[in-house]
Amino acid sequence: MIKWLKSYLLMEKEVGSNSYRREVTGNFVILFSFAILFLLTLSNFFLSSRTIFYANLALFSGLCLITFLFRHNKRLVIHSIAHFMAGGIFVIVYFNQAQDYTPIWSFLYMYLIISLYGHQKGLMIAGGFLGCLLLFLSFWVGETVTKLEFIRFAFVSVFILFFAYLAELLISRTFEQLNKTKSILEKMTITDELTGLHNRRHFNDVLSDKINSARRSKEMLALAIIDVDHFKKYNDTYGHPAGDQVLITLAELLKTTMKRSDDVLFRLGGEEFALLYKPKDETSAIALLERIREAVEDVVKEENIQSIVTISAGLYIIKPQKTQSFEQVYKSADELLYQAKELGRNRVVVSP
């Protein structure tokens, strides 16, 4: 029973957002409504008048009907039950003439409504409900309810409404800050700190997905691995800050050139970069990489780089009709880069 309850209320699921919390609250509303109305109906059958028993039975039947009619839209079921609960409170208060502490059920309703709708919209709905309830209760002031009891109830109700609003506001802001921080941390784990490009870890995660996606959509995919020529010698000659400036400049050039939404750029480590993009054909795939290679020398001159910088690249074209793994694709592109270096650098070597 406990295991089922935890599963139904999603207690084993990771807390991640306000929507999750509202889903849990909604499940609780359904479960609680059925449980409490069933128990009230049963107890009133034995302990109370027939009139109150029939009122509870009608409410329980109405609850079952709402759940059945809107069973394919859980959100609508939850909100309908919540508002049905408001009507039920008025009915019970009416039949009990505001006695036997029946108005205090409004406390639960106000808290649930603010949890379901959020602090702003929830406050408006709960505030409207409380205003109507206080007006309704005023009819029994001086008869079954004393003035002092009415004032006490109104005072406590307003405070409960305020604190429910405040709690929801603080929880919502906490979740927003938590998700914002989580998003920043997730971005940091896949981003290269120096260049702002994706890092090797993200490359390992993305490449297989991109290969499979391109194969399903029958699109050509190109993987280019780029390496800065003689970068170690450049670092040794001009220092690491100058070397970092070369890498940053190259990264900015790649960002400027690769603007399409499905272009993905990576710094694999050191002076090695990777480009993943979908060309129209092999000619356009090669032309793009050649433009980048030719642009490198001009760009580094503009950025006051202290020496001529060139790049070598291995370009591997992934055909949609051919099934290949991450390891095969990466190894092939890396071998093409190695060939470019063996052939004298400052060139692009393309897969046959």
Q: What is the pLDDT of residues 38-79, one digit of tens each?
A: 887 888 777 767 777 887 788 788 878 877 887 788 778 887
The one-letter amino acid code at 312 reads S
Q: Cα–Cα distance between 108 and 94 in angstroms, integer?
A: 18
pLDDT of 277 higher than 90: yes
Residue with tokens 């069933």: 38
pLDDT in tens, 229-264: 989 988 888 888 888 988 998 999 999 998 888 899
Q: What is the pLDDT of residue 11?
A: 55
Contacts of 263 (CB under 8 A, 6+ apart): 275, 276, 277
The answer to whether the Cα torsion of 190, 192, 198, 204 is positive or negative is negative
Task: Count other C-beta atoms under 10 Å from residue 18's C-beta.
Answer: 16
12 tagged catalytic: no
Q: Cα–Cα distance between 167 and 146 in angstroms, integer?
A: 31
User: By CB neighbour count within 10 A (0-12 exposed, 13-18 middle, 19+ buried), where does 95 fall?
Assistant: middle
Q: Cα–Cα distance between 198 and 334 in angstroms, integer?
A: 18
Q: What is the pLDDT of residue 157?
A: 92
Whole-structure pTM value: 0.60
**Does residue 270 come out as left (phi exceeding 0), alpha (psi in the -120 to 50 range) or beta?**
left
Strands (E), the chain: 221-228, 264-269, 272-277, 311-318, 348-350
Which member of 12, 143, 176, 271 is catalytic?
Answer: 271
Percentage of residues of the chain with pLDDT beyond 90: 31
pLDDT of 10 higher than 70: no
Tokens of 172: 């919502």
Q: Cα–Cα distance between 238 and 224 in angstroms, integer?
A: 28
Q: Cα–Cα distance between 189 and 199 in angstroms, integer?
A: 8
Domains and CATH numbers, the chain: 2-185 (no CATH), 200-350 (3.30.70.270)
Q: Cα–Cα distance between 181 and 178 in angstroms, integer?
A: 5
